[in-house]
Amino acid sequence: MKKTVLVAGGAGYIGSHMVALLAERDYHVIVADNLCTGHREAVKGAGKLYVGDIRDRAFLDRVFGENQIDGVINFAACSLVGESVQDPLKYYGNNVAGAQSILTAMKDYGVKKMVFSSTAATYGEPEKQPIEEGDRTDPTNPYGATKLAVEGMLKWCDRAYGIHYAALRYFNAAGSNPEAGIGEDHDPESHLIPLVMKTALGQREHIGIFGEDYPTRDGTCIRDYIHVRDLAEAHLLALEHLEKTGESGIFNLGSGTGYSVREIIETARKVTGKEIPAKVEPRRGGDPSILIASNQKAAAVLGWTPKRGLGEIVADAWTWHSGHPNGYGG
Ligand code: UFG
């Protein structure tokens, strides 16, 4: 019999790629999303989309009551670092109370597996590169703090209720799934690769380079970009790992390779054949100079290695943005 997976936040960018992969691998997929930032059109291949808020217990009773759920993958969260600094309570409410609400329903309905969408922002300013899971966690913004708080909640729920978990700390997710016709559509958009794509499309006059005086090879920040389809595959491996072993864990999801802002723009120029004007602007507050993942643990324990490099990430992002210049809006 097909396994049923609940994807909370399945209408969002990473969540929708998860739904498409689960459907492709013959899982029965249920999506819960309040469509606050997600898009109905992004949900492809799900058995059912429940529209509602994960903090609403009556809503969760409907979702858990109507389906025999084997595992939960939780993407439902707010994820704008800048906004989290302006409005931390929104983040504690959505991300922490939201996770608490889902875990309470899982406990009540006897669902024992959770894959949780965490972030590299749990580390804050890293002690060393590449970053390993055991390194110091000291978030520099409420977004990272709320994700770290949920990781703590998961640890105690595992001990108390036997809910096993994998907390996956993403580095910089990018790319799209051209076959499924889904991609990144945030409003407002703040991430580098989609903004570079919008510049290539002529929707922006230039891409701002936030600072060129960092201690890096070309003075611009270095990040570890990971294809969203590789991320989705890691979630599935994590779910299968929990099923097989019942062993909880925290895993970095990154490529292990860093690229600078200038290198991203250069790659995008080659892929798109467009000029992509760039202008150096002041630093953006709170940006660490380098974030690169060690992905050794995910490789050793989950058997995960990313298959897609930067060229494919940028090419797939370009396919999505050039085919959907207004995102899901047309
Ligand atoms: N950048 C620019 N110009 C832009 C946008 C971004 O130069 O217009 C730079 C940033 O300064 C940064 C790099 O491009 O150095 C990447 O920035 P993003 O905003 O795309 O991504 P971040 O690394 O800031 O954020 C990512 C995730 C967050 C997560 C964070 C962890 O998107 O969810 O990593 O540190 F919290």
Structure confidence by residue, pLDDT tens digits, 27-68: 999 999 999 999 999 999 999 999 999 999 999 999 999 999
* Number of Cβ atoms within 10 Å of the Cβ of 258: 22
- Per-residue confidence (pLDDT) for residue 134, from 0 to 100: 98
pLDDT of 158 higher than 90: yes
Q: Which residues lie closer than 8 Å to 150 by C-beta, 6 or more apart?
A: 95, 96, 99, 116, 118, 167
**What share of residues in the chain are helix, strand, coil (percent, to 5)?**
40, 20, 40
Residue 35 burial (CB < 10 Å; 0-12/13-18/19+)?
Answer: middle
> What 3-state DSSP class applies to 127?
coil
Across the chain, mean pLDDT equals 97
Tell me, in angstroms, the distance from the centre of ligand 1 to residue 50's CA: 31
- Banded pLDDT at 195 (limits 50, 70, 90): very high
**Which atom of ligand 1 is closest in space to residue 193's alpha carbon?**
20
Closest CA to 173 of 219, 211, 121, 123: 121
Q: What is the mean pLDDT of residues 143-169?
A: 98
* Number of Cβ atoms within 10 Å of the Cβ of 180: 18
Structure tokens given for 243: 């099923």
d(CA 96, CA 146): 6
- Banded pLDDT at 330 (limits 50, 70, 90): low
- Banded pLDDT at 286 (limits 50, 70, 90): confident
d(CA 208, CA 164): 43
Q: What is the mean pLDDT of residues 177-196?
A: 97
Q: Is 143 tagged catalytic?
A: yes
**Which atom of ligand 1 is closest in space to residue 120's alpha carbon?**
31
Residues of the chain above pLDDT 90, percent: 98
Q: How far is CA 90 from the centre of its chain?
A: 19
Write the Ramachandran bin of 45: left for phi over 0, alpha for psi from -120 to 50, otherwise beta: left
- Per-residue confidence (pLDDT) for residue 1, from 0 to 100: 85
- What are the beta bridge partners of residue 131? 293
- Per-residue confidence (pLDDT) for residue 35, from 0 to 100: 97
d(CA 326, CA 330): 5
- Per-residue confidence (pLDDT) for residue 23, from 0 to 100: 97
d(CA 269, CA 274): 5
Residues of the chain above pLDDT 70, percent: 100
pLDDT tens for each residue of 111-154: 999 999 999 999 999 999 999 999 999 999 999 999 999 999 99
**Which atom of ligand 1 is closest in space to residue 221's alpha carbon?**
15
Structure tokens given for 189: 């958009």
Report cis status (omega within 30 of 0) of the bond before 188. Answer: yes
Mutate to test the pocket of ligand 1, among 287, 291, 310, 313 (most ligand atoms within 8 A of CB): 287
d(CA 55, CA 8): 11
CB 17 within 8 A of CB 184: no
Check 143, 165, 170, 225 and give the catalytic one: 143
Structure tokens given for 151: 């990781």
Tell me, in angstroms, the distance from the centre of ligand 1 to residue 171's CA: 10
Write the Ramachandran bin of 225: left for phi over 0, alpha for psi from -120 to 50, otherwise beta: beta
pLDDT tens for each residue of 289-328: 999 999 999 999 999 999 999 999 999 999 999 999 999 9
Task: State the DSSP H helix or E strand holding residue 188, giving kind and residue range, or none if neither.
Answer: none
Q: Indicate which residue's Cα is closest to atom 21 of ligand 1.
A: 191
Task: State the DSSP H helix or E strand holding residue 313, giving kind and residue range, or none if neither.
Answer: helix 310-323
Cα distances (angstroms) measured from residue 78 to each of 84, 97, 143: 8, 12, 8
Ligand 1 — pocket residues by CB below 6 A? 79, 81, 119-121, 143, 172, 190-192, 195, 207-210, 221, 223, 261, 284, 287, 291
Tell me, in angstroms, the distance from the centre of ligand 1 to residue 161's CA: 36
For 195, list phi and psi in degrees, rounded to 5.
-70, -35
